[in-house]
A and B are shown apart, each in its own frame.
Chain A
Amino acid sequence: MVKVEFAAALQRHVPCAPQSVAPGTLRAVLEAALAAAPGLAHYVFDDQGAVRKHVAVFVNQQQVRDRVRLDRPLADGDSVFVVQALSGG
Chain B
Amino acid sequence: MGTLLVGTRKGLFVLEGAGEAWEFVGHHFAGDPVSQVLADARDGNWYAALNLGHFGIKLRRSGDRGRTWTEVASPAFPAKPAAGPWADDPTPWSVELIWALAAGGADEPGVLWAGCLPAGLFRSADRGATWQLCQSLWHDARRRDWTGGGYDQAGIHTVLVDPRDARHLTLGISCGGVWQTRDGGASWELTGRGMRADFMPPERAEDPNIQDPHCIAQCLADPDVLWMQHHGGIYRSVDAGRHWLPIAAAGPSTFGFAVAADPGNPGRAWFVPAQADACRIPVGGRMVVTRTDDGGASFQVYGEGLPQRHAYHLVYRHALAVGGDGDTLAMASTTGGLWVSTNAGRSWACLSRDLPPVAAVRFA
Q: How many A-B residue pairs have CB under 8 A?
A: 46
Contacts of B74 in A (CB 8 A): 42
**Interface residues as binary, B45-80 with A (CB distance below 8 Å gives 1, 0 otherwise):** 000000011111010000000000001001011111
- Report if A48 contacts B (CB, 8 A): yes
With beta carbons under 8 angstroms apart, the residue of A10, A39, A54 that contacts B71 is A39
Interface residues on B, range: 10 to 19
- Closest Cβ–Cβ distance, residue B347 to chain A (whole Å): 39
Nearest B residue to A40 by beta-carbon distance?
B55
Q: Using a CB–CB distance below 8 Å, which chain B residues touch chain A? A: 52-56, 58, 71, 74, 76-80, 92-95
Interface residue from A13, A47, A54 paired with B77 (Cβ < 8 Å): A47
CB<8 Å pairs between A and B, sample of 12? A39-B71, A42-B56, A42-B58, A43-B56, A46-B94, A47-B77, A47-B93, A47-B95, A48-B79, A48-B80, A84-B55, A87-B53
Task: Please tell me if the beta carbons of B94 and A54 are within 8 angstroms of each other in the complex.
Answer: no
User: In the complex the two chains form, is A55's CB within 8 Å of B55's CB?
Assistant: yes
Q: Which residues of B contact A84 (CB under 8 A)?
A: 54-55
Cβ contact within 8 Å between B54 and A87? yes
A23 to B79, CA, bound (A): 26
Residue A88 at the B interface, CB < 8 A?
A: yes
Indicate with 1 or 0, residue by residue over A19-55, a CB within 8 angstroms of chain B CB atoms.
0000000000000000000010011101111001011
With A47-B93, A48-B92 known, 20 other A-B pairs at CB within 8 A are A13-B52, A14-B71, A42-B55, A42-B56, A42-B74, A42-B76, A43-B52, A46-B56, A47-B76, A47-B95, A48-B77, A48-B80, A52-B54, A54-B53, A54-B55, A55-B54, A84-B54, A84-B55, A85-B54, A87-B54
